[in-house]
Amino acid sequence: MNEQQQRILTAVLAFFITAILAYWVMEALFSTRQNEPMRRSLEKEEPVELVVPKPAEPESPALLQARQELSDVPFEPGSVADKLYNLLTSSKENYSRELYTFRHDFERGSTQLTDSLTGELDQLAAILKVYPDLNISLECHTDDSGDRLVMRDLSEKQADAMREHLIEAGVSVGQIDARGFGSDVPLTSNRTEEGRAQNRRIEMSLRVY
């Protein structure tokens, strides 16, 4: 390579090196200008805007009075209404998995509400009227002391009797789902009288929350 070619090669390399350096300088300046607003916003302490929720609609005087009266109801200790009221007034947020068994039941083979079961239903109705968004499922079960289809029909009539009583007590129709399962879902064996007594039961579950 002669002297002239060396000078040309040196000039070309110098040109490329200068171009690369110029690009880096321009890139650094551009990046600084782009980040300047962000830097200023970070340095400037701006007040945080608080989102205040709109106040809830005021409850009607009738509902407020009903809630007050509900707090004065002498719930039967251990009853479904007593357990439900304690749950609703607690801090628990999810009620959907709660299952309750009524303390009182129908007379064996009957669809007539007993006085004790009626009292328990009346207390439950007082709660449901104050909590109109609360829906329940009532399930009536029997033992296997009769024909399977007969037991199913008996339990369905018992469930309907409970549902009708709650409606007559002022509970909304849409809040209640009542079903009879007969002897299809026993808790224990029906071989003993004690087992059959356990299988004759009324259960309630919540369908909301």
Nearest to 113 by CA among 133, 144, 134, 138: 138
Specify the pLDDT at position 133. Answer: 84
Specify the pLDDT at position 96. Answer: 57
CB-side exposure of 65: number of CA atoms within 13 Å? 3
Does the predicted model carry a pTM greater than 0.85?
A: no
Structure tokens at 5: 């070619």
**Contact yes or no for 194/81 (Cβ under 8 A):** no
Architecture of domain 61-206: 2-Layer Sandwich (3.30)
| Residues of the chain under the 50 pLDDT cut | 38-39, 41-45, 47-56, 209
Specify the pLDDT at position 117. Answer: 95
Specify the pLDDT at position 47. Answer: 46
Specify the pLDDT at position 185. Answer: 95
**CA 13 to CA 55: how far, in whole Å?**
73
Specify the pLDDT at position 114. Answer: 95
DSSP codes, 10-27? HHHHHHHHHHHHHHHHHH
**CA 105 to CA 122: how far, in whole Å?**
14
